[in-house]
Chain A
Amino acid sequence: MTTIALTPARVLRSEWHKLWTVRSTWIMLAAATALTVGVGIAIAASYDQDGGEAARFDPVQFLLFGTQFSQIILAVVAVLFISGEYGTGMVRSTMVAVPRRIPVLWSKAGVVTAVTFTATLATLLVTFVSGQLFLDGTDKELSLTDPGVFGTLLAGTAGLTALALIGLGLGALLRSVPGGITAFIGGVTVLPEVLRMFPYDVMDSVAKYFPGRAAEGLMTLRDTSDYATTGPALLALTLWTAAILAAAALLLKRRDV
């Protein structure tokens, strides 16, 4: 028989178990997937290449428009994963079992990364392939094996995974489900748009490196001046995520549970 002791690997297994044993996880992941695929198919099916703005659409990004909504659902899963524990009191049981606390945050981050990355990659692949079924013979016809396509889907997946981790970090910082969700929507999706309204070019450049816009830009096949390029966008997202999780870890260690 193995020794009964607290180990980081066991905390990770515990957090994995926790994620899947509440119904909301299943419902929200299914909703995020259905929304992304559904919106992608709807856009592809109604695509008219002679329509006014059609030429401007990025051939990959326009199929993934549903991620504008599903990214919020994925972030809510992550916010709930940690701040839901504060709301219900579960956090006391968790922190009595893991009194050093920090392994809980890293484990949750690991679980969110694994689940969001896998689910999102599968969803984006299905969305792209099923959307393309409607685009044969149009100017947006593309194959998964065309140059840059798979890489774009992969980068888009990485971006959405980073957004979910930011949701986890905000949930840990604010310890409140509504607070975490509000901060995510406000900070990640609204703030960059507000910044762009200022009539200064520098604001526009800065806004490109905010998490929501950086992640959006990762889903484009072609580089445009609207978004940061892939490398800097990934770097910006990594730094945002690391900074928010580090702040969350610091406060988790310092604050009373």
Chain B
Amino acid sequence: MITASELTKRYGDKTVVSDLTFTVRPGTVTGFLGPNGAGKSTTMRMILGLDAPTHGSATVGDRAYADHSAPLHEVGALLEARSVHPGRTAYHHLVALALTHGIPRSRVAHVLDLTGLTDVAGQRVKGFSLGMGQRLGIAAALLGDPATVILDEPVNGLDPEGVLWIRTLLKSLAAEGRTVFVSSHLMSEMALTAEHLIIIGRGRLLADTTVDRFVRESGAGTVKVVTPEAGLLTELLAAPEVDVTSSAPGALEVRGTDAEHIGRTAAAHGIPLFELTPHAASLEEAFMDLTRDSLEFAAHLEPA
């Protein structure tokens, strides 16, 4: 269990993480989503005590991470891909970490095996591909048989087989009753792995929900309407939460209401409809909708 309360990080007058309060529970995979630069890594670093919060606090289990007598047994973490000395072999990297806690070498061999690195364990990390580096980071995270696993963008640089392996691994870790907290900037990836979602943008909490509820409530679904009375229908549908746009004469894109309401409204006023097509939002669209206003580096693609 991870608890963040009013977690805030400021660098000078730039606020990277702002008043984040959330709980990550054991037994499920919790996705930590946000666009690049949203403050995900900083939040994870504060949970692990690498960065000190400007305000607020984070605990893992019942206390701050640094206050545990066996921190690696409490939390296993994968931070930025390369947190390794490139001149050391994978085996010795893991042994050096294991020695701090008296973790036996048999466990080192076990996590190497688990991550498929046994054959390259004697090679210096310098020659590792991005994917092998990620696997080594995950091996290090699992070294202490931790109750909580924190992984920052674990699928980065992995091939499709590796991505599948991560998904299976995360689900099995959660099924064993562990707390699994995984960050990603890809909603589609989280939809396949996570059950619970914590979404942030510009350091602020945007949503703390389940994947199912997020899709249902996101309201990003659109209904395409084709009618000769487009202007009249637009007026009739007008409401604060409804957004109507027109891409071509007689064709409307309606957001914020459903096909049933549009159909009944049209029928009540004798407006003929040639087409009434609901488009369920993809998770990616719902996510982009939610975070659009909080993008730090939004791409502005405007016609010249």
Contacts and interface: CB of A to CB of B under 8 A. Distances in A.
Interface residues of B, number: 38
B79 interface: yes
Interface in A225-246: none
Contacts of A2: 102
Contacts of B66: 99-100
Interface in B39-85: 45, 48-52, 65-66, 69-73, 75, 77, 79-80, 82-85
Contacts of A94: 97
Interface in B92-131: 92-93, 95-97, 99-104
B50 A93 contact: no
Interface stretch (A21-29, A125-133, A134-142, A184-192): A21-29
Interface stretch (A35-43, A55-63, A71-79, A82-90): A82-90
B177 interface: no
Contacts of B85: 18, 22, 84-85, 88, 90
Nearest to B92: A21
A124 B85 CA distance: 32
A98 B70 CA distance: 9
B84 A18 contact: no
B4 interface: no
A10 B101 contact: yes
B167 interface: no
B86 interface: yes
Contacts of B86: 88
Interface string A237-257: 000000000000000001011
Given A6-B71, A92-B83, A257-B51, A13 B99 contact: yes
A203 B97 CA distance: 48
Contacts of A11: 100
Given A89-B80, A96-B79, A22 B88 contact: yes
B48 A99 contact: yes
Given A24-B87, A96-B71, A4 B92 contact: no
A6 B52 CA distance: 21
B31 interface: no
B70 A4 contact: yes
Interface in B163-187: none
A244 to B, nearest CB: 23
A167 B71 CA distance: 30
B142 interface: no
B89 interface: yes
A45 interface: no
Contacts of A222: none
A95 B80 contact: no
A4 B84 CA distance: 22
A27 B157 CA distance: 34
A96 B48 CA distance: 7
B72 A89 contact: no
A5 B102 contact: yes
A257 B66 CA distance: 14
A5 B95 contact: no
B78 to A, nearest CB: 10
Interface of A: 1-7, 10-11, 13-14, 17-18, 21-24, 84-85, 88-100, 254, 256-257
12 contacts: A5-B102, A6-B70, A18-B88, A85-B85, A88-B85, A88-B86, A89-B80, A95-B49, A96-B50, A96-B79, A99-B65, A256-B51
Given A90-B83, A95-B50, A97-B101, 18 more contacts: A2-B102, A3-B70, A4-B70, A4-B144, A6-B69, A6-B71, A6-B72, A14-B97, A17-B95, A23-B87, A24-B87, A93-B97, A96-B71, A99-B49, A99-B65, A254-B52, A257-B50, A257-B51
Which A-B residue pairs are the 7 nearest by beta carbons? A99-B66, A14-B99, A21-B92, A92-B83, A257-B50, A256-B51, A90-B85
